[in-house]
Amino acid sequence: MSEGRLGGWTGKLLRVDLTRQAIAVEDLNEAWARAYVGGRGVAARYLHAEVDPQVDPLAPENKLIFATGPLTGTNASCGARYMVVTKGPLTGAITTSNSGGRWGPELKFAGYDMIIFEGRSERPVYLWIFDDQVELRPAGHLWGKGVFETEDTLRAETGLPDCAIAAIGPAGENRVLFAAIVNEKFRAAGRSGVGAVMGSKNLKAIAVRGTGAVRVARPEAMMRAQWAMKRDLEAAPLTSEGLPQYGTLALMNVINEHGALPTNNFQLAQFDRAEKISGEELRATRLASNKACFACTIACGRVSRISDEGVGRYAVTTSVHNWKHATEGPEFENAWSLGADCGIDDLDAILKANTLCNDLGMDPISLGATIAAAMELYEKGVIDDSQTGMPLRFGSGEALIAMTERAAFREGFGDDLAEGSKRLADKYHQPDVFMGVKGQEFPAYDPRAIQGMGLGYATSNRGACHLRAYTVSAEIVGIPLQVDPRSVEGKAGLAIAFQNISTAVDATGLCLFLTFGTTLERIRPILAAATGIDLDDAELVRVGERIWNLERVWNMRAGFTAADDTLPKRMLEEAIPSGPAKGEVSRLPEMLPDYYRERGWSAAGEPSAEKLRELGIA
Amino acid sequence: MAALDGALQIDPAKCTGCKQCELACSWVQTGTFQPSRSLIRVHVFDEQASYAPYACPQCSEAWCMQACPVNAIDVDQQTGAKVVLDEACIGCKLCVIACPFGTIFYDKQTDRAAKCDLCAGDPACAHACPTGAIAVAGVDPGDWLVSFGESVDSAYRKAVNGEGAR
């Protein structure tokens, strides 16, 4: 990387060949850093160059990339993020799972923008990074342990308690298809099974301590730009009050009131007991503190305590967590999947299942949604106790906790759950109970009630996901402007705008929640001050578009077609039975052709040669 | 214990553990972001839901000052802060051993002691804190960057070019 002119990036990456147990330090490809900025973008470019899209996700030939952005580790508000990029075993598509906390910044302080893992270690190992000391160490003594015990053990044995640790739990080791990678015990690169890829490589953890500096190109401009952004966040209602007071769980009552809160595996779109699992209820009865990721001036994280009576309920045998101590969460999506989607109204059950997901290393969205699908199968008599080992009825906290533990260890019926709800539904010949896209489960918004979300889910490059096109922001919350959630008009353009902007923000190392309180006009000068490269708003959005198209191209080479850009039959044909959105179905077929056209893609959803040339994608 | 004077007023109950203070402190000293050289530190105790920011309380006994063999720690007459005189410091670490709070540090990159000097009365950490957990009486929360621009740019040049290291 050119000396002195550029900043933000360290300009170095680590390449770890697990098969040969060899570690190399490489220069970051500067041309790619300029075109794709960082994180999700640069990592996707490396994956595109180095991994055959047809690879088996759990084979040694798949690579696992941890990538920060140029703003990770700077003082930019919410510049804490890193992205895990690989081929996801749940979907078979490129996946880009994002996490906060302080692991990403610590990697930057150690002197690296990215780590690329390739091959497979013969025995369990963990990677130890202390500035320029980088080594693979045996992890046989950690294998089988939960994330919490792994962290505590590594903190003690490395002698540097300030190190940051990203680890897998038993679920990743057992290749649960929605296993997560968890850092600081409660922050997770959650979706699409990145933890299973890590487990398949026999890589238990990455512990990193960095004492170096992240240098920016224009230090004073950096502080001025951050000062302006911090003030925006202090002035905007969502980032100064909503998120700090209630966390993302503020959405529970809001989405429910719109009749868009999927309940009992999307059989209903309103949960009559949503208040009992809302952000307001958590704050009144269980919140100990809010908590920030590194450099975050919003602090939406929840530090919570289970109620006194909840401590004794729902026997847990697989976690070392002391339930009298504080735990974290739940986020809105998790409280929905483990709560409303399973018909469960007990915050203690949700908090325990959520904590188990962190300790055992699983994505609570896919887990909860898969248990919900199993509950529907059970209640319809498709499966019974002889398969499940216990009653699986909507509303049962006991079933939720037991199934969470069994899924992580693939024990009994847990072996079916560990495959995710698509494979579960197919196995029992009921494909229509799978609620998701490209093999990945939906998050907490019914696409029949919020039309833009249906288009966003169907076209997301990593399967159903709320973070790829959070049109809820415009359709429900009214940011940046209010649009009608029931209408399909203009939704193609809306989804594309959200996709491109979110992707660009992901590439910088910033958190998407910033966009609830500030705009690209504030983010752009921060990126420019850090990197020394001036992009205007259109160029920054173009970066997002470039990354989006690259991911799309990679997926098509993996075998995806326009036929995969769809929603389950229940969303397209079965109307919402009750509530404010009664009678609605997703009108995806009306939106999708517009979406392809406005993207510059063919009617078959293929990016045109002209579009790819324009974006500089080979 | 004698009364503290002219020190950061820290309210741990307001802290969210974001470490913006550490980033601002390292920026003032080096023009870069390097929490390992911050003179204010935040310890996070998750399972107790507790955050502990700490920096020099500018205590009146000033054991660091008494222990220094070369009189390299002095009292800033305007703020009352105990400050390390870089030209005089010989990097012997006696002050680090003497301090009962653990808030004066040895910086191996400069081979000198380093401690909070209250940023000449207008501490960057207090400005950077998003929740008002750090305050200093009488400080105007206005455009504080004016006073920092030049000093930070020179610190940055030193960090980039390696000037000032022994």
Domains and CATH numbers, chain A: 12-209 (3.60.9.10), 244-441 (1.10.569.10), 451-615 (1.10.599.10)
- Comparing C-alpha atoms, which of A304, A355, A318, A382 is closest to residue A144? A318
Specify the pLDDT at position B152: 67
**Exposed e or buried b for every residue in A199-222, given b needs 16+ CB within 10 A?**
bbbbbbbbbbbbbbbbbbbbbbbb
Q: How confident is the prediction for chain A on average, in pLDDT?
A: 96
A586: left (phi over 0), alpha (psi -120 to 50) or beta: beta
Confirm if A365 and A334 have CB atoms less than 8 A apart. yes
Per-residue DSSP letters for A76-93?
STT---EEEEEE-TTTSS
Whether this model's ipTM surpasses 0.90 comes out as yes
Determine the residue type at A59: A
Answer yes or no: do A186 and B46 touch at CB < 8 A.
yes
Specify the pLDDT at position B50: 83
Answer yes or no: do A220 and B24 touch at CB < 8 A.
no
Look at A118-127, A215-224, A425-434, A460-469 and tell me which has the smallest mean pLDDT.
A215-224
Answer yes or no: do B18 and A299 touch at CB < 8 A.
yes
pTM of the complete model: 0.95
Specify the pLDDT at position B48: 75
> pLDDT for A144-183, tens place per residue?
999 999 999 999 999 998 999 999 999 999 999 999 999 9
Specify the pLDDT at position A561: 98
Structural domain boundaries enclosing B144: 9-161
pLDDT band of A110, cuts 50, 70, 90: very high
Specify the pLDDT at position A606: 97
Answer yes or no: do A322 and B130 touch at CB < 8 A.
no
Tens digit of pLDDT at every position of chain B (166 positions): 233 367 899 999 999 999 999 999 999 999 999 999 999 999 988 777 788 999 999 998 999 999 999 999 999 988 889 999 999 999 999 999 999 999 999 999 999 999 999 988 889 999 899 999 998 766 555 555 655 656 666 666 666 555 444 4
Report cis status (omega within 30 of 0) of the bond before A480: yes
The answer to whether residue B14 is domain-embedded is: yes
Which residue of A211, A219, A292 is in closest CB contact with B18? A292
Specify the pLDDT at position B156: 66
* A227 interfacial to chain B (CB closer than 8 Å): yes
Q: What is the mean pLDDT of residues A587-613?
A: 97
Report the chain B residue with the minimal C-alpha distance to residue A215: B32
Q: What is the mean pLDDT of residues A489-495?
A: 98
Who contacts A34 (Cβ-Cβ below 8 Å, separation ≥6)? A533
Task: Determine what percent of chain A is predicted with pLDDT higher than 70.
Answer: 99
Count of A–B CB contacts within 8 Å? 108
pLDDT band of A27, cuts 50, 70, 90: very high
Q: What is the mean pLDDT of residues A463-480?
A: 95
The answer to whether residue B2 is domain-embedded is: no
Answer yes or no: do B32 and A213 touch at CB < 8 A.
yes
Specify the pLDDT at position B91: 97
CATH number at residue B134: 3.30.70.20
Work out the number of other CB atoms within 10 angstroms of the CB of residue A15: 17
* A212 interfacial to chain B (CB closer than 8 Å): yes
Specify the pLDDT at position B160: 59
> pLDDT for A44-82, tens place per residue?
999 999 999 999 999 999 999 999 999 999 999 999 999
Q: How far is A223 from chain B (nearest CA, A)?
A: 8
* Count: domains in chain B: 1
Q: What is the mean pLDDT of residues A230-251?
A: 95
Q: What is the mean pLDDT of residues A309-323?
A: 94
